[in-house]
Structure 1
């Protein structure tokens, strides 16, 4: 009996061991950068990473790939319900693992109040096909941060993403095409 990738992903959600997430990622086919244009809704795959729960608690919506050179890497849902693009360099990534759980729980309120200062209309990342874990696949490079998000195809409308940040374990998330 063949287990399809979407069933394997569903079996791991909402939380799994980091090794299980890596094994799934490594088993999935590559996706080309030019194949993932459009808006994608995100959700986290918790693996014990310091960021687990933070994006969803803060109202994270997903990502938007207008072209390989024009990517909005962080979309959030504003209190008004609008989807807005946020400039990642205005987010203190170095402090994310130091945020108390009480603040994480109130993340949506905190982020809603901060959105006007974080918003941008400019693309803040780009896509390239890069080698990661031995496979050439789509990678999203942030313009101003040392972060690369790598993607593998679960099915035609679902991607498994892996955030690669120096000196940190991989952070996993799922993108579903809008």
Structure 2
């Protein structure tokens, strides 16, 4: 059992937002966190959303999102989903981002989730679908994952050695979408 985070620490601040926060609160925490070197992202990470009122809140989890995997700067699996045989990478090029962004009620529907479960084996891949780079975001140079086929950049800040706060920068999304990554192992 891990110890409770120290009051006022980044971990405690993040824990205080876990049940839901205003986007401004999440951005304030994100801006207060230090940068991440790309090398510090190498490994497999378990993902979870940080609810802030984004239309994407809870969506990845509803579809069985597991997390992300960074093998090196050129070999990144941006979307791992849970399967019976363990986490498997899905090619994000087949994710209907316009539907997720513009029609969240449809994306959250039971029928859409069932269709994805049926299609998931067809969109599983072994090829990397993103790259890891350093970008300047909100005035800080930090690690970011750049998708190969989608207008998305996931930007990371350091909560602790094994926890990252991420924000998805998606062209056309009105506000930020936040998520938390926890290192496996």
CA deviation profile, 1:146-171 (whole Å, cap 9, x unmatched): 11000000001000000001231111
Superposition map of 1:1-178 within 5 A: 3-78=8-83, 80-96=84-100, 97-100=102-105, 103-104=108-109, 109-168=114-173, 169-178=175-184
SS of structure 2 residue aligned to 1:145: coil
* 1:13 shift after superposition: 0.6
Q: In 2, Cα distance between the equivalents of 1:146 and 1:13?
A: 27
SS of structure 1 residue aligned to 2:61: helix
| Alpha-carbon contact 2:89-2:124 (below 8 Å) kept | yes
| Alpha-carbon contact 2:99-2:107 (below 8 Å) kept | no
What RMSD over aligned residues (CA atoms) do the two structures have, in Å?
1.7
Q: In 2, Cα distance between the equivalents of 1:102 and 1:31?
A: 32
SS of structure 1 residue aligned to 2:127: coil
Listed as ranges, the gaps of 5+ residues in structure 2 are 1-5
CA deviation profile, 1:70-105 (whole Å, cap 9, x unmatched): 100000002x14211000010000111414268445
Listed as ranges, the gaps of 5+ residues in structure 1 are none
| Alpha-carbon contact 1:14-1:44 (below 8 Å) kept | no
- Point out the more displaced range, 100-109 or 148-157: 100-109
* 1:121 shift after superposition: 0.5
Q: In 1, Cα distance between the equivalents of 2:66 and 2:181?
A: 10
SS of structure 2 residue aligned to 1:3: coil
* 1:106 shift after superposition: 6.3
Q: In 1, Cα distance between the equivalents of 2:85 and 2:108?
A: 22
